[in-house]
A = this chain, B = another copy of it.
Amino acid sequence: MKPITRKEEIIRTAAKLFKDKGYSAVTMRDLATSMGIKASSLYNHINSKQDILKAIIISLAEEFTAGMKLIQSSNDSCMSKLKAIIELHVRISSENIYGMASLNNDWMHLEDQLEYYLKLRQGYEDDFLKIIENGKSNAEIKAANPEIIMFSMLTTLRSLYLWIPKKEDLNAKDLAINLSEVLIHGINK
């Protein structure tokens, strides 16, 4: 199978540390200590601290964009698309708890790739909003402000990485179902 390279191991360990303290507060010495080696040894596997951040964030951002493009191009109803978006977030977040923290909180520390990241994120939000606006036109969705709907859904989905580890008894499928119910149908009886 695919062997875990030392580089991948460093990136995973870094993601864990970034989740707790943020990119800026984690030093290469912290990372090296977590790996059980000296800081200078890290540079045989990675080029810079910045490269680690890039590897964590860009791959995740591209995964979300690819998922959204797939959902967008389907012929499903608006409601089905929204449920698919929820499943997309639950799935990627479950598989990348640590990386999601960097994606949410440390993207501003990207240097070369900041512009590219912002383009991906803006595109994602544009696509999300279009789905909601279509649902409003179709009368699938109520006449509330589409931006408030997207804001509410997206911030909940973006914070999943914080809550999934606390609720390990809830599997991805059940979480997605429960979340769809709450986000789409509300909470009142």
A binding-site residues for B, Cβ under 8 Å: 20-22, 24-25, 79, 105, 108-109, 132, 139-142, 144-145, 147-149, 151-152, 155-156, 158-159, 162-163, 167, 170, 175, 178-179, 181-189
Contact = CB atoms under 8 A, between A and B. Distances in A.
Q: Main SS of chain A's interface residues?
A: helix
* Oligomeric state, in copies: 2
Given A151-B163, A158-B159, A159-B159, 6 more contacts: A22-B22, A140-B189, A145-B170, A145-B178, A148-B179, A152-B156
B188 A142 contact: yes
Contacts of A179: 148, 152
A82 to B, nearest CB: 8
Given A156-B152, A184-B188, A178 B22 contact: no
B24 A22 contact: yes
A152 B108 CA distance: 25
Contacts of A144: 178, 181-182, 187
A105 B105 contact: yes
Contacts of A184: 186-188
B25 A148 contact: no
Given A152-B182, A179-B152, A189 B108 contact: no
Minimum-distance CB pairs A-B, first 10: A186-B186, A24-B24, A155-B159, A24-B25, A185-B186, A152-B156, A142-B189, A148-B178, A151-B163, A155-B156
Contacts of A105: 22, 105
30 contacts: A20-B108, A21-B109, A22-B22, A22-B108, A24-B24, A24-B25, A79-B188, A132-B187, A139-B189, A141-B187, A142-B181, A144-B181, A144-B187, A145-B170, A148-B175, A148-B182, A149-B182, A152-B179, A152-B182, A155-B155, A155-B158, A156-B156, A182-B186, A183-B186, A184-B186, A184-B187, A184-B188, A185-B186, A186-B186, A186-B187
